[in-house]
Amino acid sequence: MKRLVIYFHYDPQGVVDLPCRYAVEAMLPFGRTIFVTNGTLEPESRAWAEQSGAVLQERENRGFDVGAYRDALLAVGRVQLARYDELILMNYTLAGPVFSLETMFQEMESRRNLAFWGLSRHYAMRSKRFGGRVPEHLQSHFLAVRAELFCKDVFWKYWQDMPLPRSYEESIIHHETRFTPYFAKQGFAWDSYLNTEDLKPVFVNPIMACPRELIQHRGCPFFKRRSFFTPYEDELRRTDGNAAAELQTYLSSATRYPVDALLRALLRTQPLSALYKNLHWRYVIPDDTQQELPDLSREGLRLVCPPPLAADAVTQWYWQQSRQWAQDHLAQAVELFRQYPMLGVLCPELPAWPEGLQAVQSAWQMRKASLETEFQVRLEWNPPPAPCAGWALVREAALPAHMWENAKQPDVWKMPLAAQQKGYYSATFYAGSQAAAGMEQLFAYMRGAQRPVTVAKQLARLAKHRLKH
């Protein structure tokens, strides 16, 4: 089957990262590929694109994926497109492939009755954010359209009449959730490569909710980059919160996909706090295990003790207890650096003491604006893992040399952000008893949230303390 692939890419810094290159190079054997990017590529990325075998098309960053696909289609033209059997519209939000694409393409080639198909589908739901009623649809990260459809006037009218979206939400409303029902209503047959009908009562978006299941047992060659940095609170409303960590573990242990390259790419563009939550960069160490401390300098590590953030006496007491426990288990902490080469900064997990956690949140909000001007990484409302209780073990290679000159008084926030900027992540570690306390705290909040009276009391108490201060 003769194919044309239009691969849409966007990066705010004009970088084509290794995961994108990996995906494009995997698609090249299956069709002529146009690499269309919203914006201007930096020189090294442009050189790669021009030498990759794909056709590079740079355009104004306008119209999201819809604008990119439309410009690329108009550049190809109706006459040239008619020379192909299948058109694939694909974008950079997919990571992979995890294994060969041959099986997927052979399977879908055998299904000659389809006018268009996709990798996966999203099931119907109601969402105020995306226009109210969202119909069941093929997801736009990978759509395949056959000549039976793209040679028709209705296909070109769809693109020519569509208003360019001005936001992510408009892109979903005007294109992703509209494409499938629009052409199905015209009588064109469609289906998805992945069969997830049995998951329909469980998840509306299986590729996000259970990616490991789709890869390991259903032959899905791709997964969403967003699995690793999606808002974790949203995932807890829809799943048990383990999807991203399970996916990373499976990719690392059972496939040859370069997952570390993806993590480095995401550390450059996504908030560390989001990756930290989704990938569970919290390590549990047994309470009663102590070992002889190795030579830190030979391990390329340093122990730093920044002053703890100012807090009340109770918070200070809990932080001191946590710090002492961590120092007694320093040997196990060193072992984590041996096990995880991308680990840059490791600090004790803060105890599940509400006042202490609130103090950290407040301190982060006071510093966030100034840090955004200093570091070229994304920050969000939630703070990154940092040695707020006054203790950190740091890989020397993860921090620039000038930061060691002031190692006696290091900035608690700058260490994780500087490490992130160099491609390393930060994590916390804690005792099993702390993990249990944190879970009980979570359950208490969940139970309280189900009782309006309890929520009202908590809000009143918070308001009283804020007014008092």
Q: Does the predicted TM-score (pTM) go above 0.85?
A: yes
Q: Is 405's pLDDT higher than 70?
A: no
Query: For the segment 414-452, what is each residue's pLDDT rounded down to a tens digit?
Result: 999 999 999 999 999 987 776 666 655 555 555 565 566
Cβ atoms of residues 38 and 59 within 8 Å: yes
Q: Is 289's pLDDT higher than 80?
A: no
Can you read off the two tokens belonging to residue 328? 């007694």
CA-based nearest residue to 56, from 115, 2, 93, 8: 8
What pLDDT does residue 393 have?
Answer: 94
Query: For the segment 22-60, what is each residue's pLDDT rounded down to a tens digit?
Result: 999 999 999 999 999 999 999 999 999 999 999 999 999
Query: For the segment 88-144, what is each residue's pLDDT rounded down to a tens digit?
Result: 999 999 999 999 999 999 999 999 999 999 999 999 999 999 999 999 999 999 999
Q: Is 408's pLDDT higher than 60?
A: no
Q: Is 286's pLDDT higher than 90?
A: no
Cβ atoms of residues 89 and 6 within 8 Å: yes
Query: For the segment 329-353, what is each residue's pLDDT rounded down to a tens digit?
Result: 899 999 999 999 999 999 999 888 8
Domain-by-domain residue ranges, the chain?
Answer: 3-196, 299-439
Task: Grade residue 268 by pLDDT with cuts at 50, 70 and 90.
Answer: very high
Residues forming beta bridges with residue 138, ordered by sequence position: 121
Q: What is the mean pLDDT of residues 77-88?
A: 98
Q: Is 280's pLDDT higher than 90?
A: yes
Q: Between 3.90.550, 1.25.40, 1.10.510, 2.60.40, what CATH number should domain 3-196 receive?
A: 3.90.550
Q: What is the mean pLDDT of residues 287-295?
A: 77
**3-class secondary-structure state, position 387:** coil
Residues forming beta bridges with residue 145, ordered by sequence position: 87, 116
Task: Grade residue 464 by pLDDT with cuts at 50, 70 and 90.
Answer: low
Percentage of the chain modeled with pLDDT above 90:
76
**3-class secondary-structure state, position 249:** helix
Query: For the segment 359-378, what is each residue's pLDDT rounded down to a tens digit?
Result: 999 999 999 999 999 999 99
Long-range pairs, 207-216, Cβ under 8 A, ≥24: 207/119, 207/120, 207/139, 208/243, 209/238, 209/239, 209/243, 210/239, 210/243, 211/243, 211/247, 212/243, 212/246, 212/247, 212/250, 214/120, 215/98, 215/247, 215/250, 215/251, 215/255, 216/250, 216/254
User: Going by C-beta distance under 8 Å and a sequence separation of 6 or more, which residues neighbour residue 171?
Assistant: 64, 65, 66, 165
Q: Is 166's pLDDT higher than 80?
A: yes
Cβ atoms of residues 6 and 84 within 8 Å: no
Q: How far apart are CA 172 and CA 160, in angstroms?
A: 17
Q: How far apart are CA 260 and CA 265, in angstroms?
A: 9
